[in-house]
Amino acid sequence: MSALRFRGPVLPDGEARDLYVVDGRVTYEPVASADLVAEGWIVPGLVDAHCHVGLDENGAVPPEVQEQQALTDRDTGALLLRDCGSAADTSWIHERGDLPRLIRAGRHIARTRRYIRNYAHEIEPEELPAYVAREAERGDGWVKLVGDWIEREAGDLTPSWTRESLDAAMRVAHEHGARVTAHVFGEAALPDLIGSGIDCIEHGTGLSSELVDAMVERDVALVPTARQLANFPTYAAAGRGRFPAYADHMTRLFESRREVIGAAYEAGVAIYAGTDAGGVLPHGLIAEEVLELASYGLSPRDALGAASWRARSWLGLDDNLAEGTTADLVVYDESPLEDLRVLGRPARVVLRGNVVA
């Protein structure tokens, strides 16, 4: 393989350097024969920390659609995907060097008749530890729970699990070397999830200041999926006829979302960028997600880091363009720290040392 050369400020430190790619790896040792591929701002490969490769709004999709989803993300610069629950077996993507790195959370685990049809294992609380063990073995180090959903009798969001079942499930997951995350829109499910030792919360619109403090103390991460939160009014309208209390609740959560997520950021909760693509949302939205996070109060550096170097480290890829690491990077003609809209216009996308877009 011929050597490639990229020139410009390398984030996160921003030092202007010549970065070389030799045999798929980064080096800063000059290579005289290297071809200059691009000049610009060089960013460690972007991360979508909450998406669903293998799903659409109706359930699992076939491999050819899975491939297109992954390619769409890749071409926007999202080179590491945490698949946050999928009814499809997407493990074959690991064998494709031209597709993003994929960290799978197995299939969603939900309460019976309390999640989207065709998406999840639908079980009762006493079964939770066994299903967590199963999905921990099936996935790539993560398990995804549905922490709350509409309970028809209550007509509103209610917790899916008992504290006893959660305590047992967290022990089982951690014994298997897996981390656990949970979908949570409302308030009531959060104390038991956080108290039981969960590793991450998805959405998090029901957080209180006390729970935020507990997340900081326990090092629980938050992936707000800000683009998805913008759909709350649609969900409220769809449910108003049958579940008016739920509709009012979702409206309140929507109206307070910026204050709640902004307070979590100010308190020091580790926040990462995830689009929730693969259900009602299309893939390829990572640039829009970063812009949304910034609108919630994150600084441009923190918003971009939430979708790049910080997210890569959180997910176990402590490479971030260090000497000798795999070359996953995106080059931009202008500084994304000066204008985050630049993220929507990648000049070059390099995956495993190959220019792919």
| pLDDT tens digits for range 70-104 | 999 999 999 999 999 999 999 999 999 999 999 99
Q: Are residues 342 and 258 in the same domain?
A: no
Please give the structure tokens belonging to residue 189.
């499910």
Domain housing 206: 46-314
More confident residue, 176 or 320: 176
Q: Which pLDDT value is given to residue 318? A: 77
For residue 330, give the CATH number of its domain: 2.30.40.10
- In order of 166, 170, 265, 350, the CA distances from 192 in angstroms are 7, 11, 21, 42
From CA 1, how far away is CA 73, in angstroms rounded? 26
- Span 50-63, pLDDT tens digits: 999 999 999 999 99
Q: Which pLDDT value is given to residue 260? A: 98
Number of domains into which the chain is organized:
2
Q: What angle do CA 352, 96, 121 make, to 5 degrees?
A: 120
From CA 159, how far away is CA 228, in angstroms rounded? 20
Q: Are residues 170 and 28 in the same domain?
A: no
Q: Which helix (H) or strand (E) holds 263?
A: helix 244-267
Q: Which pLDDT value is given to residue 1? A: 58
Q: Are residues 88 and 183 in the same domain?
A: yes
Q: Which pLDDT value is given to residue 191? A: 98
- Reported as half-sphere exposure (CB side, CA atoms, 13 A), residue 166 has a value of 26
> Is 351 within 8 Å of 80 (Cβ atoms)?
no
Residue 3's nearest CA partner among 16, 17, 26, 15 is 26
- Judge whether residue 186 has pLDDT over 80: yes
From CA 357, how far away is CA 350, in angstroms rounded? 7
From CA 254, how far away is CA 278, in angstroms rounded? 21
pLDDT-derived band at 2 (thresholds 50, 70, 90) equals: confident
- Span 258-312, pLDDT tens digits: 999 999 999 999 999 999 999 899 999 999 999 999 999 999 999 999 999 999 9
Q: Are residues 136 and 221 in the same domain?
A: yes
> Is 330 within 8 Å of 74 (Cβ atoms)?
no
Please give the structure tokens belonging to residue 220.
């629980």
Q: Are residues 241 and 335 in the same domain?
A: no
